[in-house]
């Protein structure tokens, strides 16, 4: 049994694989693990290995390493970005500066599609990465996610105080301030993604917590993959280091 963990800024997702089959999965707030709470691995009796992709800081690595050492007697293997994995090359001049979650998603998408792709991860931030048909990562873009865009209006204005996502008609003009903010934020992201997909004539692959919400508004054909970062951990050749426990 292999435990795979994706620690994002807001939530931690995990799954247990038996071979290639997912047998257990769960999620919880990242802040809980940062604060020292254990990962809630209910139903997990034994593990052979554990793999982690994290953008959530050192406390997550330390706390999870300690839990896995104490509970299962195994080390935590922490994914790293490298210049090349198989036929996929990193587009950053300093690969270590690329977020490991983006790298895992790029690797997973290229393994699935073997074609030019635009990879969109819709979470607290929205990241967009471009891959050529021969596996060259061309870099990408990072913009605020839907909720961060809304929060920027809350903090920068005295009259706009909105706490909602858009409703079903997300691209129609808003007829209230709540709607205008929510729909405007979605429209900005849709316009960015559709332009890039069109310019690059590429396969569009979307993941992340708000990915389905955004996919429903995009006219271009898009594929939604819920667990791209976790899938990337399974790609042959990914570089890992060992997490250090207390």
Residues designated as active site? 101
Residue 160, both tokens: 């706009």
Closest to 194 (Cα-Cα) out of 147, 104, 128, 110: 128
Given a contact cutoff of 8 angstroms between Cβ atoms, the answer to whether 177 and 160 are in contact is yes
Task: Return phi, psi of residue 185, to 5°.
Answer: -65, -40
Angle, CA of 48, 96 and 17, to the nearest 5°? 20
d(CA 226, CA 213): 12
Query: In what helix (H) or strand (E) does residue 61 lie, and over which residues does it extend?
Result: helix 58-72
Helix (H/G/I), strand (E/B), else coil: 51: strand
Helix (H/G/I), strand (E/B), else coil: 144: strand
Given a contact cutoff of 8 angstroms between Cβ atoms, the answer to whether 204 and 120 are in contact is yes
Helix (H/G/I), strand (E/B), else coil: 100: helix
């Amino acid at each position: 049994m292999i435990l795979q963990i994706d620690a994002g800024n807001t939530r931690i997702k995990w799954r247990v694989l038996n071979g290639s089959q997912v047998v257990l999965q769960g999620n919880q707030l990242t802040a809980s693990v940062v604060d020292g709470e254990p990962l809630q691995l209910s139903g997990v009796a034994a593990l052979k290995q554990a793999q982690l992709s994290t953008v959530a800081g050192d406390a997550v690595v330390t706390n999870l390493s300690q839990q896995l050492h104490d509970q299962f007697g195994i080390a935590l293997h922490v994914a790293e970005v490298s210049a090349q994995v198989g036929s996929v090359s990193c587009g950053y001049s300093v690969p270590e500066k690329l977020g490991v979650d983006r790298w895992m998603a790029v690797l997973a998408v290229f393994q699935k599609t073997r074609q030019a792709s635009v990879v969109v991860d819709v979470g607290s931030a929205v990241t967009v990465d471009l891959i050529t048909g021969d596996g060259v990562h061309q870099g990408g873009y990072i913009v605020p996610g839907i909720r961060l865009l809304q929060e920027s209006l809350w903090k920068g204005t005295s009259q706009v105080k909105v706490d909602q996502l858009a409703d079903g008609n997300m691209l129609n003009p808003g007829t209230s301030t709540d709607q205008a903010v929510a729909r405007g934020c979605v429209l900005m992201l849709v316009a960015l993604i559709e332009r890039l997909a069109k310019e690059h004539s590429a396969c569009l692959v979307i993941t992340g917590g708000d990915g389905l919400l955004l996919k429903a508004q995009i006219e271009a054909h898009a594929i939604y993959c819920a667990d791209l970062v976790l899938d990337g951990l399974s790609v042959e050749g990914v570089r890992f280091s060992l997490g250090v426990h207390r």
